[in-house]
Structure 1
Amino acid sequence: MSIARQKTDGTRSRSPRKRSQAKRVSEPVISFSELDGIRYLHFGSPWVQGAMDIEHPDELVLSYIQDMMAWLLFLEPPARVLQLGLGAAALTKFTHRHCPDTATTVVEISQQLPWVARQWFGLPPEDDRLMLVQGDAADFVGDPANREGFGVIQVDLYDEEAAGPVHDGSRFYRSCYRSLAEPGIMVVNLFGRHASFARSEERIRAIFPQVLLLDPQDEGNLVLLALKGPPLQVSRRQLLARARVLEEDYGLPARKWARAVADQLGLGR
């Protein structure tokens, strides 16, 4: 499950509450709102858990969700991507459409959210490039069978209370590291203004050899990229050239990412 730190007003519909029999998971009260052509996903509160442009359902609406694709600055789409937390399926749909040679595995603990994502947010059916796993993200990455299985891991794990990430321990991040191929990148949605941020960043930096931060969004979300593999060897010019390609091919704000990364790496102009 995912969250953006913003609220909406609009007409809402609700889905009933039910429980997972597999792990006795308390299912959130899922509701929706629509405003100015955007459909929003909520978990029983005004906080936004995902969004979709009704006219353009495959576009990435939320700024932090766009930032979750910043791994494209450094990697070509890998053979396998792991997404921890489904939300409104924006990342899933984007990868499925724009990365035809990539297979995506989505781990979502809620039993009802995949159905909601299909009915209301255009999640495509499972096929040889898309697999949904109902289960706990920490259990999945902790399974030795998934060691070095993914080129990219996207982590967006928040519940309806939004009181910091659901999984935020060193053991979890170490399992993510082990589940990455080399080179590989873990991308994490964090709350830059939340008390949990410094703790999260410290734990990730203790495990990954290189960590980069994108600029925080107005709503407070801040995306962190943790790299597995040798240190980056890149110039500012190369980053900006790559960013221009990404903007043309994917319509993503890649030059903003490139400038943020170049500044952190101390790359000359």
Structure 2
Amino acid sequence: MMYSAAQFLSEDDTLEQAQLNKLERICQKLALKPEDHLLEIGTGWGSMAIYAAQHYGCRVTTTTLSREQFAYTEQRLIELGLQERVTLLLTDYRDLTGEYDKLVSIEMIEAVGHRFLPTYFKQCANLLKSNGMMLLQAITIREQRYAQAKRNVDFIQRYIFPGGALPSVAKMLDIVGSDTDMNLLHMEDFGLHYARTLRLWHDNFKHAHGKLAELGYDEHFLRLWEFYLCYCEGGFLERTIGTAQLLLAKPDALREPLLGRFNA
């Protein structure tokens, strides 16, 4: 179960397959190895941590602030017998300590807020070894609209994600360059894949209306979330917002061979 952009490698890909494509691509970009210790900031429902541990054999430490997601992921780890390989924390990323080989953060940065972007990137850099790498997936806003977006409260901030804020690619790279010792190795934008993801979520949501009504969700709730899903799909189709994966590297990682790890 995931609530971030999937990556469709063919027209025939199901939503489930496209989400697995995303996880695999992230692991390839990070060049995960069994001896790596991967830190994940933003556990979600545990899919990234579980995939990395199962398919790449690495140790994973993953942290969340959601008690519901913590409980759900904890149960999944027990069912899969991964408690020894995956450490699950209920901790603010700013309170984390230690050094890790790799770091991943999937669509968590939108909850950080404009003011704390420098803090976020500094902490990520501090948590990586000198040859470490970070893969960040983020929903982004066009640079030309960034200043205006900082001043305004839109539909999503008011009704869906209070306190949420979309960064621009330029703003993130500016902070990475001025506040950390990391460098950009690779960037990929796949916003149109998010539009397709949202369309499939919308289809699934409509098919579940009956079950949702049985659970007590009223017509207002259903219409609000249908509008949200369509609103976001339109934003990605119009390229007002995008989805970026940034591969960032610490100084010593730049000395290692990086080409050929994945299809650019």
TM (norm. structure 1) is 0.56
Are 1:215 and 2:188 an aligned pair? yes
Q: In structure 2, the residue corresponding to 1:112 is in which secondary structure?
A: helix
Aligned to 2:9: none
Larger Rg over CA atoms: 2
Q: In structure 1, the residue corresponding to 2:188 is in which secondary structure?
A: coil
Q: In structure 1, the residue corresponding to 2:63 is in which secondary structure?
A: strand
Is residue 41–residue 108 contact of structure 2 (8 Å, CA) maintained in 1? no
Backbone CA RMSD of aligned residues: 3.3
Is residue 150–residue 181 contact of structure 1 (8 Å, CA) maintained in 2? yes
Distance 1:112 1:224, change over 3 A: same
Instruction: Tell me the alpha carbon deviations over residues 14-49 of structure 1, each in whole angstroms, 9 at most, x when there is no partner.
Output: xxxxxxxxxxxxxxxxxxxxxx975xxxxxxxxxxx
Letter in 1 for 2:56: C
Instruction: Tell me the alpha carbon deviations over residues 188-233 of structure 1, each in whole angstroms, 9 at most, x when there is no partner.
Output: 1122445312222211222134213332112232111111123635
Distance 1:105 1:60, change over 3 A: farther
Aligned pairs (5 A) from 1:1-269: 3-4=3-4, 38=15, 53=16, 61=19, 64-73=22-31, 76-100=33-57, 102-117=58-73, 124-140=80-96, 143=97, 146=98, 149-158=99-108, 164-166=110-112, 168-194=116-142, 195=146, 196-197=167-168, 198-206=170-178, 207-217=180-190, 218=192, 219=194, 220-230=242-252, 232-233=254-255, 239-240=259-260, 243=261, 254-256=262-264
Residues of 2 paired with 1:118 and 1:37: CA distance?
A: 27
Q: In structure 1, the residue corresponding to 2:252 is in which secondary structure?
A: coil
Letter in 2 for 1:213: H
Letter in 2 for 1:129: R
More helix by share: 2
Distance 1:60 1:153, change over 3 A: farther
Is residue 165–residue 190 contact of structure 1 (8 Å, CA) maintained in 2? no
More strand by share: 1
Aligned to 1:30: none
Aligned to 1:49: none
Is residue 132–residue 249 contact of structure 2 (8 Å, CA) maintained in 1? yes
Q: Among the aligned pairs, what percent are the same residue?
A: 16
Residues of 1 paired with 2:256 and 2:59: CA distance?
A: 28
Once the two structures are TM-superposed, the CA of residue 151 in structure 1 deviates from its matched residue by 0.1
Distance 1:184 1:153, change over 3 A: same
Residues of 1 paired with 2:38 and 2:28: CA distance?
A: 14
Residues of 2 paired with 1:177 and 1:234: CA distance?
A: 18
Is residue 86–residue 108 contact of structure 1 (8 Å, CA) maintained in 2? yes
Distance 1:150 1:231, change over 3 A: closer
TM (norm. structure 2) is 0.57
Residues of 2 paired with 1:92 and 1:65: CA distance?
A: 10
Q: In structure 2, the residue corresponding to 1:87 is in which secondary structure?
A: coil
Residues of 2 paired with 1:202 and 1:223: CA distance?
A: 16
Instruction: Tell me the alpha carbon deviations over residues 132-181 of structure 1, each in whole angstroms, 9 at most, x when there is no partner.
Output: 001212222xx4xx2xx20001112539xxxx342652122112111111
- The gaps in structure 1 that reach 5 residues or longer are 7-35, 39-52, 54-58, 244-253, 257-269
Is residue 177–residue 183 contact of structure 2 (8 Å, CA) maintained in 1? yes
- The gaps in structure 2 that reach 5 residues or longer are 7-12, 147-166, 195-241
